[in-house]
Structure 1
Amino acid sequence: MHYVNGKWQQGYGEPFVSNNPVTEEMLWQGQAATTEEVHQAFAAADEAQAAWSALGWEERAKAIRRFATVVNQHVDILTKAISDEVGKPLWDAATEAKAVAAKCEITIDAYQQLCDETQVSTNTLNGRVVYRPLGVVAVIGPFNFPAHIANGQIVPALLAGNCVVFKPSELTPYAAQVMVELWEKAGLPPGVLNLVQGGVSTSQAILAEPKLRGLFFTGSRATGVKLREALTHRLEVLLALELGGNNPLIVHRPASIDETVDRVIKSAYLTSGQRCTCARRLIVTGDAEPILRRLVEKTRDITVGRPSDQPEPFMGSLIHANAVQNVLRFQSDLLAHGAIPLIESKQLSLGAAFVSPGIIDVTNCTSRTDEEVFGPLLQVIRVPDLDAAIREANDTQYGLAAGILCADRAHFDRFREHIQSGLINWNLPTTGASGRLPFGGIGQSGNYRPAGYHAINFCHVPIAEVEALPEGTDAK
């Protein structure tokens, strides 16, 4: 179903379905939005834009707080939708659902803290900074956090006074529909938030929309590049991209082997390795055998299972069977070029979308590509010292998340001074992120800070207002 101008409607484009990756049963079916339906969504948003912007941020904040209340009242429904569609254990899906509500108050605080209230006065003029929304913006969301990441861009966009056309991943239409239903329950005015479902053709229709003024995308680098190319001549459209990374985690003289191993496992395997901040490269210095032995032992103990299992598993499924095959193909290619398996990742009998966590020593691999492997496969790289580790960590086109596990503050200081990354961690999993700090990468990992506390900054434009003072008037 699509949600346009406050009404739910069937689509008329290409039919598609979403299957539960655990049970392989159909969860959702519908038809993609056609070009005309996308146009209707933008027309509705454009019609609602002036009134929504004119409300003022305080009234818009009230609407967003109502949504947070509704989410908290229906958190179990949203949790189950996420778990059913993505294959996450219920504890993992619940963490995401609760973050949807928490994002609201954080964004309201960010709006108040980050807006510049500078005023300039002289004998002849008064000047001030004011903020204007971009206009109608589109949010194209990812599958791995189908509610939280998209909502993390929808909320600041709405608070800044924009109206939104939301296209979720074609892999997670159901979770997105449930979230928009909660926005509807919160009483958002018609046209302020519109939902269009679909794949590439729907995205292309969004890109061609004359009324588009901002596009916020989270996903693969390849798709991000295509979006940027498509908008090359659309200088009026702000494009904010979060594109993942080949994230490094350095282990250098840590204080505790067990604590180190726990943080490595949480870095590499949370959400079955389907987080953009997951560590893909484990860079170890000196004699790392004790750490690696313990890591292998603890990784073998990781439980992989269905969301309904009791006790709940640490890892669930991947998004679909093809994702498993992508991980296994990448692993096979590494092994064919000299990598050494410490634990091979294997497809599990639980179902076609289940795969076990793997650890591959690629130190002497003759063909290592700088790719983001979106799954539970960790590559180990051995180096002699910290300087070599930092060089290895920076040997990537990406720059999203990076971390170091070490006991000495001086080693961390050297790391943070030289690492090329938008998120820098010391003695923490790379997968942790504070909603009250900026979130985003550098290099090929994207631009702006497309999530986190500073997302509000790309959702509106600071304008200089300057007015002449009548002769004899005192400046204010």
Structure 2
Amino acid sequence: MPPSELLRSIRPHDGTLLWEGPVAGPSAVAEAVARARAAQPAWARTPLAERAGLLRRFAELVTARTEDLARTIAEETGKPFWEAKGEAASVAAKVAISIEAYGVRTGTTERPFAADPAGAMQAVRHKPHGVLAVLGPYNFPAHLPNGHIVPALLAGNAVVFKPSELTPATGEKLAALFAAAGLPAGLLEVVQGGGETGAALAAADIDGLLFTGSAATGAALTRRFAETPHRILALEMGGNNPLVAWDVAEADLDAAARVVVQSAFLSAGQRCTCARRLIVAEGPGEALVERVLALVERMRIGPPFAEPQPFMGPLIDGRAAARVEAAFAALPGRVLLPMRRPDPALPFLTPGIVDTTGHAAPDEEIFGPALQVIRVRDFAAAMAQANATRFGLAAALLGGDRTLFDRFWAESRAGVVNWNRPTNGAASSAPFGGVGWSGNHRPSAFYAADYCAFPVAGIEGTRPHAPLATGLD
């Protein structure tokens, strides 16, 4: 994307222009990082209580302007307004959770150093890294980058934020709310652009990069950071998530079908935790599949502000819709529900479901409303199918008893493991991350504090003392 080119944000539900602005070239990125570098030391010296107080003002502003922020999110992503309001509320809620997490995960501890008779203290404190880059995704353009920005600022870092090139308007609005709360200049710099801008930021004079996005981009960042071990890299990536339904009671089939539909099709399937594979028992699982198909037929799909509200809106743009269509068409097996694109000019897709039992489907994250059904003979085979992926973000069990869930939990290879709840149900008061190609063992949410500051251990005494008593003439 040439530096002279304007970046444009298009409303996916109707194709109209929402926002436009200049692309940040390498020199603009370097200048933004330099401003952040200059501003960061004073911020790090600011008492934690003052940093927390400013972030609380930010949360109050977001709460007061929730509908305005949600409207921008809905217009830019196409997600239903009810869902966008939930995202805006999560932005405000992140502050209190981050303050709690900082105290629990990266606070200060002091205790007497038992080996020192002079009464020294053993202390553990935490320091900020310095300047952290944040690369945000388009599916949650406010909540997910904010999940890095708030704990990073709280820890005393400065941040250079590149929103997704598909959701720049939301990124600008988020930064404006921080500024309105009184965040000093330079502590949150925004650089807009696509892959070239992101690459320039990753190569700039930063102390770390916090990323949410695709596994392919995460792998590219890992290669780029291989020769810079002094810089921290936190990756939150996608998943090919399994939902295993086993021994679901007849009375619970309707509720289980709702769990499947929410797991697979919430946010038009554009969540990294969405279920991509429904694994059921041969024979008994047929009743659940039939109810899922019936429930999807009732699903409302439409623009974000339609009344009554839709369950899901469009995908982010036409290219994303085309990729999902092609990936779904390439899945082997028997189509149970064909995926359709009602208007070729707009990125709305209807959910598609295909039975891939007995076929080797690609181990890829189809980031849209596509669900595979896999039928197996026994629970051992169900677990083998669930773990037959290089990803490891989310997994869930529907049905069964505590003993079966304990087995599911023990054998699952995922960072989020739910029981009788959707795969895309995750608490911000818990860690959020995965293994394999889903992350690099730096979970976010409550554990984001861990990668926003580093521990400093020390033994502190008021007078010089060392036990040098042996080996001297």
Fold in common (TM above 0.5): yes
CA deviations 1:366-397 (Å, max 9, x no partner) are: x4110000000000000111111111111100
Residue 18 (structure 1) aligned with residue 9 (structure 2): yes
Out of 372, 383, 396, the position equivalent to 1:403 is 396
Per-residue deviation, 1:325: 1.3
Kindly indicate whether the alpha-carbon contact (under 8 Å) linking 1:448 and 1:458 is maintained by their aligned counterparts in 2: no
Out of 123, 132, 155, the position equivalent to 1:137 is 132
Normalising to structure 1: TM-score of the pair? 0.94
Q: What CA distance in whole angstroms lies between the structure 1 residues aligned with 2:89 and 2:46? A: 28
Q: What CA distance in whole angstroms lies between the structure 2 residues aligned with 1:120 and 1:156? A: 29
Residue 301 (structure 1) aligned with residue 298 (structure 2): yes
Q: State the partner residue of 1:64.
A: 55
- Any unmatched runs of 5+ in structure 2? 467-473
Q: State the partner residue of 2:190.
A: 195
> For residues 149 and 471 of structure 1, do their structure 2 counterparts lie closer, same or farther at Cα, with a shift above 3 Å needed?
closer
Kindly indicate whether the alpha-carbon contact (under 8 Å) linking 2:122 and 2:460 is maintained by their aligned counterparts in 1: yes
CA deviations 1:285-339 (Å, max 9, x no partner) are: 23211111111111111110111211000010100112111121112112xx4x1
Runs of 4+ residues deviating >6 angstroms: none
Residue 99 (structure 1) aligned with residue 93 (structure 2): no
CA deviations 1:421-472 (Å, max 9, x no partner) are: 0000000001111110000011110123442111111100000122355379
Q: State the partner residue of 1:75.
A: 66
Kindly indicate whether the alpha-carbon contact (under 8 Å) linking 1:149 and 1:451 is maintained by their aligned counterparts in 2: no
Kindly indicate whether the alpha-carbon contact (under 8 Å) linking 1:153 and 1:450 is maintained by their aligned counterparts in 2: no
Per-residue deviation, 1:351: 5.0
Per-residue deviation, 1:120: 4.4
- In structure 1, the residue corresponding to 2:226 is in which secondary structure? coil
Kindly indicate whether the alpha-carbon contact (under 8 Å) linking 2:133 and 2:202 is maintained by their aligned counterparts in 1: no
How high is the sequence identity, in percent, across the aligned residues? 44
Residue 29 (structure 1) aligned with residue 25 (structure 2): no
Kindly indicate whether the alpha-carbon contact (under 8 Å) linking 1:216 and 1:450 is maintained by their aligned counterparts in 2: no
Q: State the partner residue of 1:233.
A: 227
Kindly indicate whether the alpha-carbon contact (under 8 Å) linking 1:22 and 1:351 is maintained by their aligned counterparts in 2: no
Kindly indicate whether the alpha-carbon contact (under 8 Å) linking 2:242 and 2:386 is maintained by their aligned counterparts in 1: yes
> For residues 408 and 56 of structure 1, do their structure 2 counterparts lie closer, same or farther at Cα, with a shift above 3 Å needed?
same
Q: How does 1:173-212 map to 2 (within 5 A)?
A: 173-210=168-205, 212=206
Q: What CA distance in whole angstroms lies between the structure 1 residues aligned with 2:373 and 2:464? A: 72
Residue 219 (structure 1) aligned with residue 213 (structure 2): yes
Q: What CA distance in whole angstroms lies between the structure 2 residues aligned with 1:46 and 1:417? A: 45
Q: State the partner residue of 2:111.
A: 119
- Any unmatched runs of 5+ in structure 1? 1-10
Normalising to structure 2: TM-score of the pair? 0.94
Out of 276, 284, 288, the position equivalent to 2:280 is 284
Per-residue deviation, 1:350: 8.5
Kindly indicate whether the alpha-carbon contact (under 8 Å) linking 1:110 and 1:456 is maintained by their aligned counterparts in 2: yes
Q: State the partner residue of 2:470.
A: none
Out of 435, 439, 442, the position equivalent to 1:442 is 435
Q: State the partner residue of 1:169.
A: 164
How many residues are aligned here?
Answer: 458
Out of 266, 269, 278, the position equivalent to 1:270 is 266
Per-residue deviation, 1:15: 2.2
Letter in 1 for 2:222: R
Q: State the partner residue of 1:6.
A: none
Q: What CA distance in whole angstroms lies between the structure 1 residues aligned with 2:307 and 2:31? A: 46
* Two-structure CA RMSD over aligned residues (Å): 1.6
Out of 358, 372, 377, the position equivalent to 2:365 is 372
Kindly indicate whether the alpha-carbon contact (under 8 Å) linking 1:16 and 1:31 is maintained by their aligned counterparts in 2: yes
Q: What CA distance in whole angstroms lies between the structure 2 residues aligned with 1:14 and 1:352? A: 24
Q: What CA distance in whole angstroms lies between the structure 1 residues aligned with 2:51 and 2:238? A: 31
